[in-house]
Amino acid sequence: MKRILIVDDEPALLKIFELEFEDHEELTVHTAQSGSKALILLEEYSFDVIITDLTMPEMDGIQLLSLIRDKKIDISCTIVLSGLPINMHIDKLKELGISKYFEKPYSIDQIINYVDTKCLENP
Amino acid sequence: MITKLNMILNIARDVLFEFDEQGTYLNIWTSNESLLAKPKEEMLGMRIRDILTKKEAEFYEAKFKEVIATQNEIEVNYTVTTPNGPTHFTGSIIPLNFGNIKTVILYAKDITLEEKQKLTLANIGNIAKIGAWEYDIKSGAHSWTEQTYLIHQIPVGKKIDEESFLAIYDDKSRELFKTATKLCITQRKAYDLELTLKTSDIKKIVRVTGYPIVDDKNITVKLAGTVQDITEHKKLTKDFEDQKYRLNQIIEHVPGVIFQSRLLQSGEITISYMHKTIQKIFGFTADSIMQEPSLITSNIHPEDLSDYSEKVSKSAISDTTFDWTGRIFDKDRNIKWIHTQGTPKLNSKTGEVIWDGILFDITEKKKLEFSLELKQKSLNHQLKLASLGKLSSGIAHEINNPLAIVNNVLNRITKLSKKQENPVSEIETLIELALDATKRIETITKGLGIFSRADESTYELFNVTWAVGSTMRLLEELYRSESFLVEFESPPTEHMIYGNRGRLDQALMNLVSNAADAIKVKEDGRLKVSLYFDDTYCNLKVSDNGAGIPDEIKDKIFDPFFTTKEVGNGTGIGLSLVNSIVLEHHGSINVESSQEGTTFHIRIPKKKGY
């Protein structure tokens, strides 16, 4: 059983992610509407995949990923979603070692496909 | 002898007496018995001492003796009391020899009236301050009236000699006088001179006239004339001239053209005075405009004509200052911008209204204003672009989010539709999510109307509660992903105000955007906008809990181009624009700022005309 954490300030998107991952029986899906809620879940569980939005109130995606790195929490697959052209943050994201980013408006199918093929099939 | 007597009588003397050496009346002739002291019959045989006082009588008796002894004529002046009262005579005593008998003739003329006239003339002269003078060329004798003495400040009656009285005139005057006198004698030229004299330190200007008197042989025997002290008159004339000059100078140099115009009862407008500098403005001369006022009135720009007529009649009816700004075509059909003001006064007799006014050519000023207006417009445009640029990243993000929702909802529904069973409840949830997302997009795109409304200049009555609410919804959307909290307070009832919605939106956006900048980096940033009303005003408060405005720049924040933001971030026209928008609405703005935060408070009158 693998665990995935989806962080986005859009409850609607979280809901769609949940619905899309419903048929992944080998996957437990957790969602958080903010960075701080995500951190609480990260304390409790260990995740294989994290998908986070970059632009969020209070704590943005970069801050969240920096904290994860600082806390030495190991997540094998890190996916970033961005409403803005990603090149604004590309250096920082490279430094944080993310696996993949998607620019909005993205299709969840692409993300699910990436998760299925690149994150979940890895040993 | 008879011939001589006849001759004497012919001279038409009024009385003629023959006396012997003792002063006995031997013969009396008179043209008028009333000139005699007693009836002629009574007087004959009486002696002169019976008629005159003793002293007078002795004087004449001595004269008679002298004439008889010397056989020379002597002149006499005397006064006797006749039934008419004191009567003045002038005449001569001449010797008469008839054989051995030596007698004298006293013949004389009644000069009482002439004396009186002379006295009256002298009095008139004194009153009018005009002196008279006479100069006998042969004898060189001057005779002056009292006033002539007074003007020259020479004791009345003093014997006048030419050199001494001319000495008080200045050199130039003396020369003038001498030349004029010479010409008057030789060529009988009358003269009228202004001479300067100096008596006891007082400088006087006197007007001296002179004319020749010619005897029956056509010889110039006398000069006569008048003297008048015109110092005061001269001074008044000079003062008047000075004043006139000064007034002319003022009218000439005053920045504007002075005029006087009239509205006749017939409704016709005439121009009774127009200063000549009008030509510089219109090309027409002042005279031609005064003759033909339509040169101005018929050249008023058609778009400004009704306003002009309105202002004229308003000023005439309400007796208030005429004040008009508008366009008039000049002689070459160029447009001149004119500002004119005039104070009306009603002539109740004729029913005319007369304006004393001044007119300014403000064409250059207007040109400048237009170019500034253009600049302001382009500045507004730049500001619009700047805020648009600043907001565009937010807009992109906030539209992309709901767009992503809609996309993925549709994608999900497509997938579900291919499945055998139809999960109706899930589809309903998905559609709800999508509709919510499209509503958010709608809020943003509607709100973006701010940018197109900002250029509109229409003032109208609009629902400010609704307008501010919709702008705030946009701002809340745009700041959705920011870490600070946006609060908005508005009364439950809706309020209308008179103003320019686009401009007020712009003001609110600027204040909120400044507040957002102040709290972006803060952890617990709060931005609060409250809208509330009192009887007269619509109040809008924009508060933040940022670091506040430093005291040293507080009074500069409304200056155009003042900014604390880094180059590229601030345009420096935000707050100055807010200020000018508030002023346009006759409102006020004030700012309270401390280290705990900043509050801008705008008050806009609800009704037109505050």
Share of chain B above pLDDT 70, in %: 90
**Confidence class for position B1, pLDDT limits 50, 70, 90:** very low
**Residue ranges of E strands in B201-276:** 202-214, 220-229, 257-263, 269-274
pLDDT of residue B545: 92
Contacts of A20 in chain B (CB under 8 A): 408, 412
Q: Give the number of other Cβ atoms within 10 Å of residue B135's Cβ.
A: 22
pLDDT of residue B113: 81
Contact B575, B466 (CB under 8 A): no
**Confidence class for position B450, pLDDT limits 50, 70, 90:** low
C-alpha dist (Å) from residue B149 to B143, B160, B180, B269: 10, 9, 21, 59
Candidate from B280-294, B360-374, B530-544, B558-572 with smallest mean pLDDT = B558-572
**Mean of pLDDT values over B278-302:** 91
Distance to chain A for B392, nearest Cα, Å: 11
CB contact under 8 A, B483 and A59: yes
Residues 6+ apart with CB under 8 A from A18: A29, A31
Contacts of A60 in chain B (CB under 8 A): 483
Between residues B496 and B201, the one the model is more confident about: B496
Contacts of A55 in chain B (CB under 8 A): 397, 481
**Confidence class for position B190, pLDDT limits 50, 70, 90:** very high
Residue B443 has pLDDT above 80, yes or no: no
CB contact under 8 A, B397 and A84: yes
Closest Cβ–Cβ partner in A16, A57, A84 for B393 = A84
Residue B437 has pLDDT above 60, yes or no: yes
The pLDDT tens digits for B391-422 are: 666 677 678 888 888 988 998 888 888 877 77
**∠B272-B278-B281 over CA atoms, to 5°?**
145
pLDDT of residue B315: 93
Interface of B with A (CB under 8 A): 393, 396-398, 400-405, 407-409, 411-412, 426, 429-430, 433, 436-437, 480-484
CB contact under 8 A, A83 and B412: no
**Mean of pLDDT values over B170-195:** 92
Contacts of B407 in chain A (CB under 8 A): 105-107
The pLDDT tens digits for B204-228 are: 899 999 999 988 888 899 999 999 9
pLDDT of residue B570: 43
Instruction: Search chain B and give the residue with CA nearest A12.
Output: B433
Go through B348-376 and write b for each residue having 16 or more CB atoms within 10 A of its CB, e for each that does not.
eeeebbbbebbbbbbbeebeeeeeeeeee
**Confidence class for position B375, pLDDT limits 50, 70, 90:** confident
CB contact under 8 A, A108 and B480: no
Q: Spell out the SS3 assignment of A55-107.
A: CCCCCCHHHHHHHHHHCCCCCCEEEEEECCCHHHCHHHHHHHCCCEEEECCCC
Residue B381 has pLDDT above 80, yes or no: no
The pLDDT tens digits for B105-163 are: 888 888 888 788 877 777 777 777 788 899 999 888 898 988 898 888 888 888 888 88
Euclidean distance between CA atoms B256 and B457, whole angstroms: 33
What are the residues facing B531 on neighbouring strands? B540
Long-range contacts of B291-298 (CB under 8 A, 24+ apart): B293/B261, B293/B269, B296/B271, B296/B328, B297/B269
pLDDT of residue B379: 66
Instruction: Search chain A and give the residue with CA nearest B392.
Output: A84
Closest Cβ–Cβ partner in A13, A20, A57 for B482 = A57
Q: ipTM for the complex?
A: 0.84
Contacts of B396 in chain A (CB under 8 A): 83-84
Q: Which amino acid is at B257?
A: V
**Confidence class for position B572, pLDDT limits 50, 70, 90:** very low
Between residues B11 and A101, the one the model is more confident about: A101
Residue with tokens 């302001």: B376
CB contact under 8 A, A58 and B426: no
**Confidence class for position B571, pLDDT limits 50, 70, 90:** very low
Go through B515-534 and write b for each residue having 16 or more CB atoms within 10 A of its CB, e for each that does not.
bbbbbeeeeebbbbbbbeee
pLDDT of residue B580: 82
Distance to chain B for A91, nearest Cα, Å: 19
pLDDT of residue B554: 76
The pLDDT tens digits for B338-366 are: 999 999 998 888 889 999 999 999 998 88
The pLDDT tens digits for A91-107 are: 888 888 888 888 877 88
Closest Cβ–Cβ partner in B433, B482, B483 for A12 = B433
Interface of A with B (CB under 8 A): 9-10, 12-13, 15-16, 19-20, 55-60, 83-84, 104-109
Phi, psi for residue B565 in degrees, rounded to 5? -80, 160
**Mean of pLDDT values over B241-261:** 88
Contacts of B400 in chain A (CB under 8 A): 83, 104-105
pLDDT of residue B396: 73
Instruction: Search chain B and give the residue with CA nearest A55.
Output: B481
Euclidean distance between CA atoms B196 and B203, whole angstroms: 7
Euclidean distance between CA atoms B127 and A106, whole angstroms: 118
CB contact under 8 A, A58 and B483: yes
CB contact under 8 A, A109 and B429: no
In chain A, which stretches have pLDDT less than 50? 123
CB contact under 8 A, A105 and B400: yes
- The model's pTM is 0.42
Phi, psi for residue B22 in degrees, rounded to 5? -90, -5
pLDDT of residue B80: 78
Residue B454 has pLDDT above 70, yes or no: no
Contacts of B403 in chain A (CB under 8 A): 104-105
Q: Which amino acid is at B496?
A: M
pLDDT of residue B559: 64
Contacts of A19 in chain B (CB under 8 A): 412, 426, 430
Among residues B60, B40, B57, B41, which one has the least CA distance to residue B49? B57
